[in-house]
Amino acid sequence: MTCSNCRRDIADYSNFCYYCGARQQVNAANPCAPAQKRLMRSSVDCKLAGVCGGIAEYLDVDPTIVRLVWVLVFIFTGFIPGALAYLICWIVIPQAPLPVPVQVQQPAPGSTQPA
């Protein structure tokens, strides 16, 4: 399978590219099969531990909405159950790998740029 972002070869079952971290939408071996999602804490969109950002990525919604819902649950259920639930999610949900930055090749010194 080839990454749609950086065009490098990755494993057929990968949801993310190993090199650039881009989410892979379609399985090249079987395009009819749905892409398999995995719940992971976000390493990019995190305020405290990435729990709400990871849940938002998993559900394909705005992270702000997930954070607001979490605050409402935290307030209305009492502070201890909400904090305990967040702590358990922090421990149980694995951390997503950091995306690898794409390096842009700079022109060699002294070379001319086409107009």
For the chain, what's the residue count? 115
Q: Are 94 and 41 in contact (CB under 8 A)?
A: yes
H-type helices in the chain, by residue range? 51-59, 63-76, 79-92
The pLDDT tens digits for 46-89 are: 888 889 888 988 888 888 999 999 899 889 988 888 889 889 98
What ranges do the domains of the chain cover? 1-36, 37-98
User: With bands split at pLDDT 50, 70 and 90, how would you rate the model's confidence at 32?
Assistant: low
Does 35 score more than 70 pLDDT?
no
Q: What is the pLDDT of residue 72?
A: 92
Contacts of 46 (CB under 8 A, 6+ apart): 53
Phi, psi of 6, deg, nearest 5: -105, -5
User: With bands split at pLDDT 50, 70 and 90, how would you rate the model's confidence at 30?
Assistant: low
